[in-house]
């Protein structure tokens, strides 16, 4: 192989795919790229597997997908050069960790020799096992960049997530790209038509399932309810410097400016209310008046202190003036909400939060409400657990003001769409700066807020008691991946034993 061709296959194609996939995750207008963005990378893998190219791809994918983390370090210093250096090292470190996790299963190709066709059949299962690993290795679990999430704007395409989850959508996208890559690999033979037809068939069958599923929406509707979602818009510069009464007054004014005078549910975002809300009578009374005027259950995010421990909580205020900490966040952000290291000398946060221990449901007059706070919506299992316990609608409270103005808000919201489809539940998202929304149980966005502005959503939604296959059984799609890993490992061990025995004889 010439040096020029070697550079193209080992470096250029993987980087091209990594950047294109990350770009497809920047907005719904770019999402269509995911249906062929992986083709150059997979083409290079089936041409010749080596460790270099899989790390070049995964690092570029993660680096350019998470470049918005520059917003996180911008508060640390005013020096532009220092900001750039800190951003580079932070994003590089996270990208390296995520790349290692994603590529662990792909290392099996070092120990097996397979044809291009067999590589295409095995590769997608190894890839999604890597995506699954990214979500389970705490405290560095961060399943933010799943391929399936990128397809969230295509409602018909993602319906099969209700059966096998977001990882299955990733698997389908990988196979579509892989067979396109095979058609280019065999471009001079008639096989190219077979592989092109196969890619088209995968897409067509999945879309057909999606359209059939979408036509069954009415059958999955339970009791109708109404919600008011308030997006107060407090940027990171003023979020924690504003007075509690100033924050509350803005939310109240937004509510009373709406045309509706009744709702079953009112939602404020994560940490929308100051912890003093429990002790200052005037603040609590203002909230209570809202509940009485609208005859609604009010849910809001706030810090909750209990037995000298601090929790990121979803609080419920009932029209009878009861206020309860009904849900305590279980999946905390490492280095953001707590320090993973038990050290007196290493402190990364002003307040170390404690994690909640159970998925507590909220009982309303219309049904059971499940809750996830911010980072938790990224984890399929956290939301599915609440639905399995009886949640008839999923509520996500989040504060993404520290992330940035557009790209991370869009990326985070895509997880809410996938949680809706996976669990066959309406998802109500209330955020500080966007994207707040009402998403139906098929992943269609019914109402959506504008970004980085005050906004109010008044919408109808439906409770639902039907459990999806995915909610009941979880990520069973990774079982074939595990079986392949076990088979390859056993085969390798038996081969080594065989060689050792015959060398001795």
How crowded is the C-beta side of 380, counted as CA atoms within 13 Å? 30
Long-range residue pairs from 243-247, CB within 8 A, at least 24 positions apart, any chain:
244/273, 244/274, 244/276, 244/277, 244/280, 244/283, 245/282, 245/283, 247/272, 247/273, 247/274
- β-sheet with 393-398: strand ranges across: 362-363, 368-373, 393-398, 427-431, 437-439, 445-448
How does strand 265-267 pair with strand 224-231? parallel
pLDDT value at residue 221: 67
pLDDT at res. 321: 72
In the numeric block, which tokens belong to residue 378? 């990224």
CB 401 within 8 A of CB 269: no
Mean pLDDT by 10 residues, the chain (505 residues): 76 95 95 96 92 94 90 67 82 92 90 86 95 88 93 97 96 97 93 94 97 77 87 78 81 84 88 74 83 88 81 84 77 73 53 78 88 91 92 92 83 96 95 92 94 91 93 94 87 79 67
What is the predicted pLDDT for the residue at 347? 47
Report yes or no: 387 and 423 within 8 Å, Cβ to Cβ.
Answer: yes
* Structure confidence at residue 268 (pLDDT): 92
Alpha helices in 135-190 (DSSP H): 147-150, 161-164, 166-185
pLDDT of residue 239: 66
What's the per-residue H, E or C state across 123-145? HHHHHHHHHHHHCCCCCCCCCCC
- Please list the residues that pair with 445 across neighbouring strands: 439
């Amino acid at each position: 192989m010439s040096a020029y061709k070697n550079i193209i296959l080992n470096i250029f194609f993987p980087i091209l795919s990594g950047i294109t996939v990350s770009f497809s995750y920047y907005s719904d207008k770019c999402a269509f790229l995911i249906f062929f963005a992986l083709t150059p990378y997979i083409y290079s893998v089936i041409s010749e597997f080596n460790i270099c190219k899989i790390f070049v791809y995964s690092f570029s994918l993660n680096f350019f997908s998470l470049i918005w983390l520059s917003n996180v370090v911008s508060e640390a210093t005013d020096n532009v050069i220092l900001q750039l250096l800190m951003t580079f090292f932070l994003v590089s470190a996270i990208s390296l960790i995520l790349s290692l996790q994603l590529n662990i299963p792909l290392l099996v190709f070092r120990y097996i020799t397979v044809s291009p066709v067999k590589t295409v059949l095995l590769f997608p299962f190894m890839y999604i096992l890597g995506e699954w690993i990214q979500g389970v290795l705490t405290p560095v679990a961060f399943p933010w960049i799943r391929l399936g999430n990128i397809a969230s704007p295509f409602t018909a395409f993602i319906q099969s997530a209700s059966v096998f989850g977001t990882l299955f959508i990733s698997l389908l996208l990988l196979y579509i790209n892989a067979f396109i890559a095979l058609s280019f690999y065999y471009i001079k033979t008639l096989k190219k038509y077979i592989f092109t037809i196969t890619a088209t068939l995968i897409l067509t069958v999945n879309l057909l399932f999606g359209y059939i599923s979408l036509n069954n929406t009415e059958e999955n509707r339970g009791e109708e309810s109404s919600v008011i979602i308030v997006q107060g818009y407090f940027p990171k510069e003023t979020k924690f410097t504003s007075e509690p009464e100033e924050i509350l007054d803005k939310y109240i004014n937004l509510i009373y400016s709406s045309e509706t005078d009744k709702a079953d549910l009112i939602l404020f975002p994560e940490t929308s209310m100051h912890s003093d809300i429990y002790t200052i009578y005037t603040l609590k009374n203002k909230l209570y008046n809202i509940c009485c005027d609208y005859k609604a259950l009010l849910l809001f995010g706030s810090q909750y202190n209990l037995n000298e421990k601090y929790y990121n909580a979803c609080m419920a205020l009932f029209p009878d003036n009861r206020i309860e900490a009904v849900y305590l966040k279980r999946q905390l952000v490492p280095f953001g909400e707590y320090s993973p290291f038990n050290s007196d000398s290493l402190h990364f946060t002003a307040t170390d939060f404690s994690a909640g221990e159970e998925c507590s449901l909220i009982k309303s007059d219309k049904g059971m409400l499940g809750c996830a706070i911010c980072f938790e919506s990224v984890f399929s299992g956290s939301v599915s657990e609440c639905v399995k316990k009886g949640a008839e609608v999923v509520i996500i409270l989040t504060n993404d003001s520290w992330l940035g103005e557009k790209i991370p808000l869009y990326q985070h919201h895509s997880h809410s769409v996938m949680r809706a489809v996976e669990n066959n539940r309406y998802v109500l998202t209330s955020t500080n700066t966007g994207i707040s929304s009402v998403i139906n149980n098929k992943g269609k966005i019914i109402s959506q807020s504008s970004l980085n502005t005050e906004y109010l959503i008044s919408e109808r939604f439906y409770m639902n008691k039907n459990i999806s296959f995915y909610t009941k059984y979880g990520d069973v799609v990774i079982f074939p991946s595990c079986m392949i890993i076990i088979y390859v490992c056993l085969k390798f061990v038996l081969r080594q034993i065989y060689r050792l025995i015959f060398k001795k004889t």
